[in-house]
Chain A
């Protein structure tokens, strides 16, 4: 089978550590980008907790995968969107996030996803 570039949105709705969703979503994003797919990453609802600093998962023997987020741009993943209302609800300022992000309103999601061919959510 031939392979052409497809745009994929990877949507994070889960907090880190309580489930494997965040870590396996990141693995997925890196792999898809590695295999020449155009990847955008979205964080909303509890997913925004994945970006919140400080974190020290060594206390629960979990992998500090949040340290990979700043490297996403080196994997050609440049479009990172975060739901503004999800941050506000959780009293999070953008300055507390581990990477620079683009904020989106509730009703931006559908518009942004409209540009993507496929969606995955974790």
Chain B
């Protein structure tokens, strides 16, 4: 039950890819900062869509004009991010 927090763009950095390799089915994935561009990544997007718990930080997505057009991906604001960090047992920052 780990919340994996990614903050770099998958087009430049491998953090998201490396995280996906090791993600457990009970883990959650939170895209923040430039990682929200992951929603525009063709091959990774299909992988993200298959996951159970993917969250995108609303403020960071809105700032970058990245829209979430997938019911399975949840937009969370900072207040929800705080609660999410408590729902999971720990948070790993990639």
Direct contact of A and B (CB under 8 A): yes
Q: What is the CA–CA distance of A113 and B89 in the complex, to the nearest angstrom?
A: 10
A64 at the interface (CB under 8 A from B): no
B1 at the interface (CB under 8 A from A): yes
CB contact list, A65-122 vs B, under 8 A: 85, 106-107, 109-111, 113-114, 116-119, 121
For B19, give the chain A residue with the smallest CB separation.
A109
Q: What is the CA–CA distance of A107 and B25 in the complex, to the nearest angstrom?
A: 10
**A114–B1 contact, CB under 8 A?**
yes
Range of interface residues on B (Cβ < 8 Å): 10 to 19
Known: A13-B18, A45-B14, A45-B18. A111 touches B90 (CB 8 A): no
A-B contact count (CB 8 A): 36
**A111–B24 contact, CB under 8 A?**
yes
**B22–A110 contact, CB under 8 A?**
yes
Q: Is the interface of A mostly helix, strand, loop or mixed?
A: mixed
A11 at the interface (CB under 8 A from B): yes
B91 at the interface (CB under 8 A from A): yes
Q: Among B22, B27, B89, find the residue whose CB has the most chain A CB atoms closer than 10 A.
A: B22
**B18–A11 contact, CB under 8 A?**
no
**A11–B22 contact, CB under 8 A?**
no
Residues on B with C-beta less than 8 A from A44 are 18
Q: Min CB distance, A114 to chain B, in Å? A: 7
B53 at the interface (CB under 8 A from A): no
Q: A13-B18, A119-B92, A121-B92 are in contact. List 9 more A-B contacts (CB 8 A).
A: A85-B21, A110-B2, A110-B22, A110-B24, A113-B2, A113-B90, A114-B89, A117-B90, A121-B93
Closest 4 CB pairs of A and B: A110-B24, A109-B22, A106-B21, A119-B92
Binding site for B on A (CB under 8 A): 11, 13, 44-45, 85, 106-107, 109-111, 113-114, 116-119, 121
Binding site for A on B (CB under 8 A): 1-2, 14, 18, 21-24, 26-27, 89-94
